[in-house]
Structure 1
Amino acid sequence: MEYGLVVFDSTHEAIKTETLAKDNQFHARLIGTPGQIVAGCGLSLRYELDDTVSLRKLLDNNNVSYKGFYHALRNGIKSSYTVIK
C-alpha cells in the first residue's frame, strides 16, 4: 500500500491542513506521525499519493507551514518513508 504524508511541526498547522484538504475534496485524514519521521507535533496528514502536486500547491497558496511531504510504502508490517522533493 502506498500513500502520502505531510508532516508538521505545529498541531495548529496540521489541523488547518486537514480542514483545507477536506474543504477542497481531498481524501485525507490526520494520523500520528510514524516514529521513523522526526517532527515536532506528532501529527501528519495522510492523503492519496496522486494528489501530491495539487495538495502542495493548496498548502503553499494558503501559507500553511509544513515540515515535508513523504512517500509512504507499507509492505505487510514494514513501512518505509521517503521525502518527496
Structure 2
Amino acid sequence: MKYYIIVFKNTLDAMNGEKALKEENYIFKMMPTPTAITQSCGICVRIEDKKYIDEIIERNIIRYKNIYIKEENGFKEVV
C-alpha cells in the first residue's frame, strides 16, 4: 500500500505542522519517523491521499523537511 510521509527538521516544526493540518481538516496520522529516514525529526506525518500532499505543497501550509512516498521497495523522496 502506498502512502506519504512528511518529515520535519525538528519537533517544533512537527508540532506546528500537526496543528496546521488539523485546522485544515486533513486526514493524517502522526507516527515515528521510519528508521530508513534517519536524518530527520523523530516524528512525522503519514498521509494516504495524494490530493492532500499536492495541496500541502502548493499552498505551503506547513514547514517540512522532505516528503517521501512509501512503495513496495522502500521510501522514495517526492520533494
Q: Same fold (TM over 0.5)?
A: yes
RMSD of aligned alpha carbons: 1.8
Give 3-state SS (helix, strand or coil) of 1:54's partner. helix
Cα-to-partner distance string for 1:61-83 (whole Å, 9 max, x where unaligned): 55x2x21000012x5xxx61000
TM-score (norm 1): 0.78
Aligned positions, number: 78
Structure with the larger strand share: 1
Q: List alignment gaps of at least 5 residues for structure 1.
A: none
TM-score (norm 2): 0.83
Q: List alignment gaps of at least 5 residues for structure 2.
A: none
Report the Cα offset of residue 39 of structure 1: 2.7
**Percent of pairs with identical residues:** 23
Give 3-state SS (helix, strand or coil) of 1:13's partner. helix
Give 3-state SS (helix, strand or coil) of 2:26's partner. coil
- Give the equivalent residue in structure 2 for 1:8: 8
